[in-house]
Amino acid sequence: MRLRQISTMVFVGSMMSLLCCGVMSEQHDANDIARDIMHETNKYRLMHDLKPLEWDPALADMAQRHSSDMVDRNFFSHVTPDGKTMRDRAVELGLYSETSQQIAENIGMITPGILTNKNVYVPDTPGGIAFTQVALWVQSPGHRLNMLNPDYKFIGVGVRFDGVRYYYITQVFR
């Protein structure tokens, strides 16, 4: 009997730690997170005397498609399992040609309610997820350059929750 009580306490304690640590995160509205990521990105640009980016629905559609594809096919990369790059995807949607303009992409995968591998706590709110993801991109030279490129005028963000743990986030600039 004593062993059953201990086992039950361990199970309940484990479930409580899962809940508090984000493994069983409540799903937040992806549009709220996307909007907040755009705002956080623009705040960062303003700190560097750059104009804010304007929301572009076509870029947001491209970003959303990629985030959804990563969840649906269980991968995390700028290149799809069938070898399509970000530029390939942009060309297919009519958003890029060799003679038109630059285009760039940041991707992220984040779990709310836990510490990241960079020892950053991810608050389990749309704003907290957005703030932390942008902060993590700022720490990466390539991602930071995309956010601070003065040639970019537009942004689109797509967010998809995998239903269990992770938010897959794609940010596209042109």
Looking at the DSSP bridge assignments, the partners of residue 5 are: none
Measure the CA–CA gap between 121 and 111, rounded to whole angstroms. 10
128 three-state secondary structure: helix
- CB neighbours of residue 101 within 10 Å: 12
Measure the CA–CA gap between 132 and 138, rounded to whole angstroms. 10
DSSP classification of residue 163: S
Averaged pLDDT of the chain:
85
Measure the CA–CA gap between 172 and 174, rounded to whole angstroms. 7
pLDDT tens profile 28-84 = 899 999 999 999 999 999 999 999 999 999 999 999 999 999 999 999 999 999 999
- Identify the structural domains of the chain with CATH numbers, from first to last: 30-173 (3.40.33.10)
Burial 54-90 (b: 16+ CB within 10 A, else e): eebeebbebbbbbbbbbbeeeeeeeebeeeeebbebb
* pLDDT for the residue 16: 34
Inter-residue contact 171 to 157 (CB < 8 Å): yes
* pLDDT for the residue 98: 73
Closest CA to 29 of 163, 126, 137: 126
Q: Which residue has the higher pLDDT, 100 or 73?
A: 73
